[in-house]
Amino acid sequence: MSHTPQRRWRRAFAPAAAVALLSGTILVAQAPPASAEPVQVGAGSYTTTPPAGASGPGDLNGAPVSPKVTADFDKPVATNDWWSSLIFQRYPDNPYGENLYAHPLSFKARSDGLEIGHTATPQIVADGLKYEYPHSPDLTLGVQGLDAPSARVADYSDWTVTADLSDSSRTLRATVGQGLPFAYADVSGGPVRVEFSAAPTIWHQDGGVLGATVNGRHYALFAPSGTAWSGSGTVLTADVGAEGYASVAALPDPADLDTYAEHAYSFVTGSTLTYDYDPDAATLTSRYGVTTEAREGSSQGTLLALYPHQWKESDTPLTDLEYASPRGPMRVVEGDHFTTELTTQGVLPSLPTVDSADHQRLRALIDAELDADDPWKGATDTYWSGKALGRLAQLVPIADSIGYDAGRDELLGLLKGRMEDWLTADGDGDDAQFHYNSQWDTLIGYPASFGSDSELNDHDFHYGYFVTAAATIARYDRAWIGQDQWGAMVETVLKDANNPDRGDDRFPWMRSFSPYAGHGWASGHAGFAAGNNQESSSEAMHFAASTALLGSLTGDDELRDLGVYMHTTQASAMSRYWQNSDGDNFPDAFAHDVVGMVWGDGGDHRIWWDGSPEELYGINYLPITAGSLYLGHDTEHAAAMHDSLVSRLGRDPQVWREIHWAHQALSDPQGALSGFEAQWQAYEPESGSSKAHTYQWLSTLAEVGTVDTSVTADTPHYAVFTKDGTRTHAAFNAGTQPITVTFSDGAELTVQPGRLATEEGDSGPDPDPDPTDPDDPGDLGDGTLHLGDGTLSGTPGAAADLDIPSAGGANHDGTPANPAVFEIDDVTATHDTGQTTRFTLPVDSGSSVGNAVQARVSYDLQGDGTFDRIETYNYFATNDLPGWETYTQAQGTRSSTGQLGDLDNGTVRLELWSALGNQDSRIRTGGPDGDPAVLRIPFHD
């Protein structure tokens, strides 16, 4: 039985300041305002009145809370960031917020100012399960006499925030940000006041510039020229006038004072990310820039400390300055910006289905989902409904790829029905609906779960599944996703989680993604001593992948590029900060090579519920989709992660085993498939997974191999695989016209609209096939030939079962004996160099034992009666259970002679016979339904 996560409720190891959560959350329903008509968005709608009894953003006791902002605050309310506890008061008795981890500095607001610290030495806590760089204040920056009743947010930008601490006559406005070694303060009502947490050693004092060491860490204080720092003991002040300013910097070394002094009066006033995705070059270039204002002199720019995922991917010159951080060493650049460049590896909507997979089994497994008493498994809230939508959406392209049109359409019907229910607010209190909260600038789905309403947690985790379902529907029904239909409402849901449009004041820009951190934050309020947290990085990646796909399918490049940016950037951060892929991200004393959660102050080898080791690893893998291939970009690292889990368990994974088979397949495809085959009938999938999707994933990778990142393509939606030195190229066309995709190794694929193609051809039937003329048996098309009554043809005939006579107890391995012969002649076609013969042959020997069917394919290139190429395949031993099994070329070649070339009025022959046994066997032929026998030859018209 699979275990399901109870994230955000079990907080048995929450940091100290959050221990109050252990007693549980008492949710007090907020009284809804007067009824209002739903807001129509295309065919969908949302409410502006919450459902009766629903909870909205609230404190620990369930009491409603309002955003803590100043009167001049004029932006959409942002949540889910490293500084969110400033704006979202989670604890009734704490109006100042929790620790803020900006890196390299940490902060905490209090009534008399802003604490500043920089912890350079990690602590290993919780019996070795967590490492942390806790906030340890070295000084407090404030105003003489300040006694602010609360902290409020005056402004924010992409990775900076301005905190306001004011009383009736004094004000401190401090701007701090990720990557900034400075804190900048504007003050009024009194002198700037700095109080050290211990007696400092003053090693430099010259007018407004003072250097001090406290608790072994070095700081510089900068007041305006013409002023001076004075005081004794632990308190210093500078009289900066009625409206003045000051800055504080953490120094790597006292010798660096002059470098920091050059930028001390160039105050950072904002930060902006811009990114440029170039599909033709498969590159993502990101610019991280700050705006500065010279408070005196003419200095521009500043010093910026880069995380490892930034400085290791940047050509911007680095200085020798460095800081320790919970993510590894931060390196410093000088100026007002830096850029990174990453290769975009592509996002596929699904993997192709290979011919060697048992298509009959895939169909039966899809039917098991469709025939379930409740395909939704009782889901009612946004998270579990989302997971059910995702599970069923993954089956749609699989059904399509095996020609199971009825199953595909039934699945699409299920998705449409549930999505339309969620995307429509009838105003009658229906169970599934979205509500827009204008006070918090957010869209909340009800019924909610895991604090997505009261804490604004996890919106990207939940809503990513809705985006996946919408993209899947759009792949097969463009009209459904139209702006006048359901597209506009889908985009409204998407933009609540991560909005690319800075001019859209309904939602903040990129709520759930922290651009400087390179990943998202899950908690809406960040009300923890350890800062904010992110557990399921993979569900955030799932949101990014689905956003890229939906943007391409709707022709919205802004959405597409947002998805590409988040997916590419977070893939770079995830392997480092959750799995220590570089080897220098975790402290040396931390004994684990993976964490389940990243916190503002460190990393934790635990998760939000009392889960198994399989769940700790797996929560950062699921859901497995074609957007999960990033987990295999480094094959050796993927193998190390799987081996790490197996070593910890002392056995193969048993919980969420299909999640771990899927992950194992990224480094050991055949081993993963073998594990599945041995257990597939006995295990229970994780709620967001299905046996059909797992089998398709494993069988595909077993045939095509592991991800090959050395090759790129000029489209957002591609992947390349390699096995035994042979590459397989795959690409998806999200547009409405055919495209030719060019790969960096010179390969090209022509891909039809809405289709997924590989170099061997389309992975599924064309939406509008151009049928071959059945009266012209020599019309080859793409090389797909169907078995008829002694014939091979480009189109399937009537369904039939043909007998293959028994071997009569003799051994005919390699030598045809009384074979069934299928042939096509007068064929003129071009040889696809480098491709091979493939076949899918449904066979059955009933309940008899010891039977085996064997195949031989022969090519007479000129039609002169001499076969130029003969391929004999290893026999296929049938089981003793009635029912179709699939014989494919994956059995391997027993022998081959001759060479292939172009066909010029040539002949192709397939022979099938019983190599062993005493029982006649059957082969299924003809018919577009079910699993007819197919021979695919490496030729095309």
The question of whether 535 is a catalytic residue gets the answer yes
Cα(421)–Cα(443) distance, integer angstroms: 16
Q: Taking CA 319 as the corner, what is the angle to CA 316 and CA 322, rounded to the nearest 5 degrees?
A: 115
Q: How big is the chain, counted in residues? A: 941
Local structure of 635: helix, strand or coil: helix
Cα(700)–Cα(673) distance, integer angstroms: 9
Catalytically annotated residue among 155, 458, 634, 703: 458
Residues contacting residue 504 through CB under 8 Å, at least 6 positions apart = 495
Give me the sign of the Cα torsion angle 429, 432, 434, 437.
positive
Token digits for 279?
């599909």
Nearest to 878 by CA among 804, 814, 778, 928: 804
Catalytically annotated residue among 132, 158, 453, 539: 539
Nearest to 179 by CA among 320, 316, 308: 308
Token digits for 56?
């909205």
**Number of neighbouring beta carbons within 10 Å of residue 635:** 17
Torsion of CA 43, 433, 540, 60, to 10 degrees: 150
Cα(736)–Cα(745) distance, integer angstroms: 26
Contact 542, 551 (CB under 8 A): no
Local structure of 494: helix, strand or coil: helix
Cα(469)–Cα(486) distance, integer angstroms: 12
DSSP 8-state symbol, 624: P
Contact 234, 193 (CB under 8 A): no
Torsion of CA 655, 657, 659, 664, to 10 degrees: 130
Measuring CA to CA, how many Å separate 732 from each of 144, 351, 609, 741? 63, 10, 38, 9
Contact 631, 663 (CB under 8 A): yes
Per-residue burial over 412-442, b if 16 or more Cβ lie within 10 Å, else e, is bebbbebbbebbbbeeebeebbbbbbeebbb
Rg (the chain; Cα; Å): 32
Beta strand 192-196 pairing with 235-238: antiparallel
**Number of neighbouring beta carbons within 10 Å of residue 463:** 28
Token digits for 924?
């299924």
Contact 498, 561 (CB under 8 A): no
Cα(146)–Cα(284) distance, integer angstroms: 46
Strand partners, 713: 743
The label of the residue with tokens 């951190």 reads 517
The label of the residue with tokens 């004041």 reads 505
The label of the residue with tokens 């062993």 reads 916
Contact 610, 573 (CB under 8 A): no
Written as one string, the DSSP assignment of 8-21 is TT--TT--GGGGGG
Strand partners, 177: 160
The label of the residue with tokens 């010029």 reads 904
Contact 115, 551 (CB under 8 A): no
Cα(465)–Cα(445) distance, integer angstroms: 13
Written as one string, the DSSP assignment of 730-747 is EEE--SSS-EEEEBTTS-
Strand partners, 175: 162, 184
Per-residue burial over 238-256, b if 16 or more Cβ lie within 10 Å, else e, is bebeeebbbbbbbbbeeeb
The question of whether 539 is a catalytic residue gets the answer yes
- Residues involved in catalysis: 458, 535, 539
